[in-house]
Amino acid sequence: MPLSIEEKIGEVVKYLHRANDILVITGAGCSADSGLPTYRGFGGIYDNRLTEDGMPIESALSGPMFQSRPEITWKYLAEIEQGARGASPNPAHKTLALMEQKFERFWILTQNVDGFHSAAGSKNVIEIHGNMYRLNCTSCDFQKTYTDYSHIKIPPQCPRCEAMLRPNIVLFEESLPEKQINTLYRETQFPFDLVFSIGTSSYFPYISEPIWTAKQAHIPTVEINPSETAVSHLVDTKIELGAADCLTEIWTQYQSQH
């Protein structure tokens, strides 16, 4: 007989009591309760449909498109930023920041480019796809953080050399940032004893790989996601809830027993 949601949460609390080293992998679903839309999966704004320019969002937000038609890429970057404007970390981000303080080793590997994990107080964050609010010049060494894009002309020019600015994010078909990859490799050399996957479709191999590795090593794995994903069949405990409600309940129960 399948376990109830309450029983699954109880299982996760038991995992936490036995854990010292924890890896948390997060995707767009972790920021959904901040009002940010997901881009794939149920209800995603670009799920199974083309952009108004007649191309998949992956093409519009690709490195080759930025090189050939940066105005197209910037159009959709600005659309995504506008959807996030005024949002702030939600209880999922805040709970993860509290968890980091309680465990011996606690790392977050996030695909999100909204910076909410750091804003909520988490220190050990690998922003594998970068941060959309840090803009770099494509020609000189100018860098600046913009809290929103409403104060800049799209597409923006460098105030120093007038070349194009771009967010410090990984576009489709681009390589992952070396610094973040090195941090991920360094930390995964030492086994974690609990791995969470929260709000991500686990579309990319480097996002699903820690779950596969944990599975092979008989390390407990937990997925928090209302949708089925590429790792749902692998995890020990799958909780079909949103990140904020689920993490809040897990942490409340953990603290009451600790």
Catalytic residues: 129
Give the DSSP H/E element, type plus range, for residue 243: helix 243-257
- Between CA 193 and CA 79 the distance in angstroms is 39
Q: Kindly tell me the burial class for residue 240, based on how many C-beta atoms sit within 10 Å of its own C-beta (0-12, 13-18, 19 or more).
A: middle
Based on its alpha-carbon atoms, the radius of gyration of the chain, rounded to whole angstroms, reads 19
- Between CA 80 and CA 133 the distance in angstroms is 12
Q: Are 9 and 250 in contact (CB under 8 A)?
A: yes
- Interacting residues of 50 by C-beta distance below 8 A, sequence separation 6+: 56
Please provide the size of the chain in residues: 258
- Between CA 233 and CA 134 the distance in angstroms is 37
> In b/e form, how buried is each residue of 83-119, taking b as 16+ CB within 10 angstroms?
ebeeeebbbbbbbbbebbeeeeebbbbbbbbbbbbbe
- Between CA 103 and CA 15 the distance in angstroms is 12
How many C-beta atoms surround the C-beta of residue 206 within 10 A? 14
SS3 content of the chain, % helix, strand, coil (to 5): 40, 20, 40
- Between CA 133 and CA 144 the distance in angstroms is 8
